[in-house]
Homo-oligomer: A and B are copies of this chain.
Amino acid sequence: MIQKVVPNAEAAVEGIADDMTMMFGGFGLCGIPENAIAAVRAKGVKGLTCISNNAGVDGFGLGLLLETRQVKKMISSYVGENDEFERQMLSGELEVELIPQGTLAERCRAAGAGIPAFFTPAGFGTEVAEGKEVRHFNGKPHILEHAFDADFAFVKAWKGDEAGNLIFKGTARNFNPMMAMAGKITVAEVEELVPAGQLDPNAIHVPGIFVHRIFEGAHFEKRIEQRTVRPRA
């Protein structure tokens, strides 16, 4: 077995540098790599291109890297509720590339599957398709999209083992598996790190081969964005 365990988030982000492209798993604040974000912030690297479905909120998630102006460019599908983000974007400090969510997911998956490019119907006839090759399949127009290229991928899983195998929980899975596959260096933080052999090999969502470094997160806040409930009678 090949050992992937590093002691903590600080050790896990070793090698990050200015102007790198980084992927961050998560959907909204669900399943985000909280500990890695804090460690990237602590390292102070600048000029980052961040690929993440969303951009966090003020004071949490990727909002923490926006606050410190470490991000040069965001590649996302929805950049939601974030005043600092809006301010930086409108002032031209922050570059933003918006991509359909399914295309974002598939471009990550393509990177991790060695598929350099693929055709998708999403975005045909919209500004997303501008400058892209269009081709019809079964009479329907599709556009050519390319795999991402990321120096680091930071993902968050529920359980992981020493071999880097990952298991996710609920909808906290989202973009994490494909980003784990896509990173040149993939860093996984988990709620529970177990010895090799304790996870059911049938139940692994991301085989350890895709994960270069794994650690148990010191703390997970797991903030809820929209607390919707049914009142008890």
Chain A residues close to B by CB (< 8 Å): 106, 110, 113-121, 135, 137-138, 140, 142, 146, 167-170, 173, 201-203
Q: Which residue from B114, B120, B173, B202 sits with its C-beta under 8 Å from A120? A: B114
Alpha-carbon gap, A228 to B98, bound state (A): 53
* Residues in chain B near residue A106, CB distance under 8 A: 113, 115
User: In the bound complex, do residue A119 and residue B116 qualify as a contact, i.e. CB atoms below 8 Å apart?
Assistant: yes
Complex A-B: 19 CB contacts under 8 Å:
A106-B113, A106-B115, A110-B118, A114-B120, A114-B121, A115-B119, A116-B119, A116-B138, A116-B140, A117-B118, A117-B119, A117-B137, A117-B142, A118-B119, A137-B146, A167-B202, A169-B202, A170-B201, A202-B203
- Please give the count of copies of this chain that the complex contains: 2
* Residues in chain B near residue A135, CB distance under 8 A: 117
Q: How far is the CB of A206 from chain B (nearest CB, A)?
A: 13
Alpha-carbon gap, A119 to B135, bound state (A): 14
Q: What are the 9 A-B residue pairs with the smallest beta carbon separation, nearest first?
A: A116-B137, A118-B118, A117-B119, A115-B118, A203-B203, A116-B119, A169-B202, A116-B142, A117-B137
Alpha-carbon gap, A48 to B75, bound state (A): 46
Alpha-carbon gap, A140 to B118, bound state (A): 16
Q: How far is the CB of A230 from chain B (nearest CB, A)?
A: 20
Alpha-carbon gap, A121 to B113, bound state (A): 11
Alpha-carbon gap, A228 to B223, bound state (A): 52
Alpha-carbon gap, A167 to B203, bound state (A): 9
Alpha-carbon gap, A202 to B135, bound state (A): 37
* Residues in chain B near residue A140, CB distance under 8 A: 116
Q: How far is the CB of A146 from chain B (nearest CB, A)?
A: 8
Q: How far is the CB of A71 from chain B (nearest CB, A)?
A: 26
Chain B residue at minimum C-beta to C-beta distance from A147 = B137
- Indicate the member of A115, A137, A201 with the most B CB atoms within 10 Å: A115
